[in-house]
Amino acid sequence: MAFLSIQDLSISFGGLTALTHISIDVRQGLILSIIGPNGAGKTTVFNCITGIYRPNQGSITFQGKELVGKKPYQVASMGIARTFQNIELFSHMTTMDNLLLGRHIHMKTNVFTGATFLTRRSPAAREEREHRERVERIIEFLEIESARDIPVLALPYGTRKLVELGRALAMEPTLLLLDEPSAGMNQEEKRDMMFWIRDIRDDFKVTIIMVEHDMNLVMDISDEIVALNFGVKLAQGAPNAVQKNPEVLEAYLGQQ
């Protein structure tokens, strides 16, 4: 049984068919990249997995459980974290608070314990301290210490991308969806990002699905690649095989 299994997924918006009979199996522990030209339907796949869109047809099972019909917050609490193509951070909050929100599903404080945490030993305060320590380790891992107490609104684009990645990591997901993690970054930042993604897979034991336009990065770190075009899956396989696939060359690589 696949870790994540997408079967016969179709979705359309009005007259526009964004995905047509897509099936993708994702094995645990791999880095799988989804490539394809603009508008191919890559982000739509993520939105279907995370419950933002409800597909017209098909099923998505994660560790044997059906995801279609689940609300985004339910999908998140099952261990699926994501980043967004256009960065969705809590812009008035600091980096620390953004990452702490990643800990939300692992914390228990409710309105009553939250309103009464005065002393060091109260349950809410103890929990808060414990999770701040975990978040601090992620901040160190991504080397964003200097952004720790700054509202993300005031951070440069590249740092925001890292904060969003950190927030997803703070959720301790088993499946991580990255939508164009290196978009808008310079060469050096891209290389760092590549190492981090690999480290994340190895150190955090996370399965990663990544949408990415930078082919060097994709070829370098992917274990498998899925190519989409106009909502149709063209190929799935090892990077070299997909890269040589004539349909893919025609549709995607040929354009460049």
Partner 1 sequence: MDMKRDYFEDIQLFRTNTVLVATVVFLAVLAIVPFFAGAYTLYVLNLIAIHSIVAIGLNILVGYTGQISLGHAGFFAIGAYSCVLLMVKAGVPFIFALPAAGFISAVFGFVLGLPSLRLEGPYLAIATLGFGMAVTQVISHSDFTGGHMGIKAPPMSVGPFVADTGAAQYAVIVTITVILAIAAVNLVKSRVGRAFVAIRDSEVAAEAMGINLPYYKTLAFAVSAFYTGIAGALMAFALEHVSAGSFNLILSITFLAMVIVGGLASVMGSILGAALLTYLQLKLLVIQEAPGIGPFLLEVSKRFLTPEGIPNIQSIVIGAIMIAIVIFEPLGMHGIYLRTKRYWRTWPF
β-pairing, 175-179 with 207-211? parallel
Q: What's the Cα-to-Cα distance from 38 to each of 135, 160, 211, rounded to whole Å?
A: 35, 23, 11
Q: Which stretch binds partner 1 (CB under 8 A): 4-12, 125-133, 224-232, 237-245?
A: 125-133
Q: Which of 40, 60, 100, 165 binds partner 1 (CB under 8 A)?
A: 100
Q: Contact at 8 Å (CB) between 66 and 59?
A: yes
For residue 143 the two structure tokens come to 């080397």
**125 binds partner 1, rule: CB under 8 A:** yes
**123 binds partner 1, rule: CB under 8 A:** no
> Which of partner 1, Mg ion, ligand ATP, none interacts with 204 (beta carbon under 5 to 8 A by kind)?
none
**141 binds partner 1, rule: CB under 8 A:** no
Q: Looking at this protein, which amino acid is placed at residue 232?
A: V
Q: Which of 5, 10, 28, 101 binds partner 1 (CB under 8 A)?
A: 101
Calpha distance 208→228 (Å, rounded): 18
83: nearest Cα among 176, 9, 157: 176
Q: Name the minimum Å distance from CB 24 to ligand ATP.
A: 14
158: nearest Cα among 201, 135, 190, 136: 190
Which 31-60 positions form the footprint of ligand ATP (CB under 6 A)?
36, 38-44
Q: Which is nearer to ligand ATP, 127 or 179 (CB)?
A: 179
207: nearest Cα among 35, 43, 79, 104: 79
Calpha distance 179→181 (Å, rounded): 6
Phi/psi at 71 (5° precision): -80, 155
**70 binds partner 1, rule: CB under 8 A:** no
Q: Which is nearer to ligand ATP, 107 or 219 (CB)?
A: 219
| Window 37-56: contact mask with partner 1 (x via CB under 8 A) | -------------x-x----
Contact residues toward partner 1 (CB under 8 A) are 50, 52, 71-73, 76-77, 81-82, 84, 88-93, 96-97, 100-102, 104-105, 107-111, 113-118, 120, 124-125, 127-129, 132-133, 136, 167, 171
